[in-house]
Amino acid sequence: MEEKQGTDKNEQPQFRMQKMYVKDLSFENPNSPQVFVIPNNADPTVDVNLKLNNKNIDGDHWEVSLQITAKVSTKEDKKVMFILEIEHAGIFLLKNIPQEHMPMLLGVDCPTLLFPFTRQIVSQVSLDGGFVPFLMEPVNFMALFQNAQKKKGEETN
């Protein structure tokens, strides 16, 4: 009986982030120093693109990364204030997880854990670049996941 309890314990699902790291980071300020003296640049145009990637490393470990590109321009003359690109990743232990739960863990839970740290890095880099902190809006990864699943369903029909 004791052996079976030990086996059951070893077979319990495990999910946790083990490591977080920046894979790629770029900050461009192509119109400095002039961009700092442009009047009325308080309400810039912001274009943000987010891409989610994941890959299996060794069966139980997965790399999940957020690729974000943010381009901030002046509203009136469309002069680029800065372009920020980041790929921020984490290594996640996903052990003894039923296969049907993997897409949601990789597409919702992992990026939800990673995003606040990515957001903090982006904010700090924009501040270090001479601008006000660039605070990205929170991302609803569940809604993105559900939209992607719906789109996949439509494509197969």
CA 100, CA 110: separation in Å to the nearest integer? Answer: 16
Judge whether residue 126 has pLDDT over 90.
yes
pLDDT digits over 17-35, tens only? Answer: 999 999 999 999 999 998 8
Judge whether residue 1 has pLDDT over 80.
no
- Which pLDDT score, from 0 to 100, does residue 76 have? 81
Average pLDDT along the chain? 89
pLDDT digits over 42-53, tens only? Answer: 688 999 999 999
Asked whether 93 and 57 are in contact (CB, 8 A), the reply is: no
Q: Is 65 helix (H, G, I), strand (E, B) or coil?
A: strand
- Which pLDDT score, from 0 to 100, does residue 38 have? 75
- Which pLDDT score, from 0 to 100, does residue 41 have? 60
Q: What angle do CA 47, 52, 58 make, to 5 degrees?
A: 155
Query: What is the average per-residue pLDDT within 74-80?
Result: 87
Domains in the chain and their CATH numbers? 13-152 (3.10.420.10)
Query: What is the average per-residue pLDDT within 63-82?
Result: 93
Asked whether 13 and 96 are in contact (CB, 8 A), the reply is: yes
pLDDT band at 9 (very low <50, low <70, confident <90, very high): low
